Amino acid sequence: MSVSALAEREDTRRSRSGEPVDEIVLNAVVEAAVSGDAAATEWLLTYVRPLVLRYCQARIGGHRTAISVDDVAQEVLLALFRALPGYRNQGRPFLAFVYGIAGHKVADARRNAARVATALSVPEIPDVASQEATPEQHALQFELTSRMEQLLRQVLSPRQHEILVLRLVVGLSAEEVADAMGSTPGAIRVAQHRALTRLRKVVKRPQV
């Protein structure tokens, strides 16, 4: 059976069962895409796109910031497409490779947005109130999002932070997160529980 036929059969199975893609099938498609198979590459990019989009949405903080989630996700997919010919399986799940690229692109976008927000200014007061967010509002929203991101990083370890993003925002199962992070479902569930417990304690802590 060709890789394309195998991928199509996997799509049918997933649509009926709602289960994640089979790891054997995914590895076969990745191998074919790395070898230059156009159909395999198209299937692979289509498969990871919603995962990348949800990841970027979670890390950026939504459409109210000065960063376009869709644009960043597109940058991730383009970088992934360019990186595929040089990809080598080093024992880590392919999704870990994808999220690694996504993490770098999100960080780049946040740095660029911070520079733009600092440079933006309104030369004069408009005669008519605009219904669109002003540059100052974009900058404020970005600052609030950055502070929230900073708080989470102070409270949680990088691993706990990534697990919560992948589990609660991206919507991956414990099994999928385990594959992406090279861990086990049980360890992911334990880390998630500890991270949420830590956050609850911080939220309930009396303000001085």
Q: List, for residues 122-158, the tens digit of each pLDDT value.
A: 444 444 444 454 555 555 455 555 556 666 777 888 8
pLDDT of residue 191: 93
Sign of CA dihedral 150, 152, 158, 164: negative
pLDDT of residue 145: 55
Question: Is the model's pTM score more than 0.75?
Answer: no
SS3 content of the chain, % helix, strand, coil (to 5): 75, 0, 25
More confident residue, 120 or 152: 152
143 closest CA partner among 66, 54, 69: 66
pLDDT of residue 57: 83
Q: What integer is the mean pLDDT of 13-26?
A: 72
Q: How far apart are CA 189 and CA 32, in angstroms?
A: 33
Distances (CA, A) of 19 to 12, 14, 198: 11, 5, 30
Q: How far apart are CA 204 and CA 206, in angstroms?
A: 6
Q: For the segment 86-98, what is each residue's pLDDT rounded down to a tens digit? A: 999 887 888 889 9
For the record, the structure tokens of 26 come out as 């995914």
Is residue 205 within 8 Å of 89, Cβ to Cβ? no
Dihedral (C-alpha) 122, 126, 129, 130: value to the nearest 10 degrees?
Answer: -50
Query: What percent of the chain stands above pLDDT 90?
Result: 23
pLDDT tier at 202, thresholds 50, 70, 90:
confident
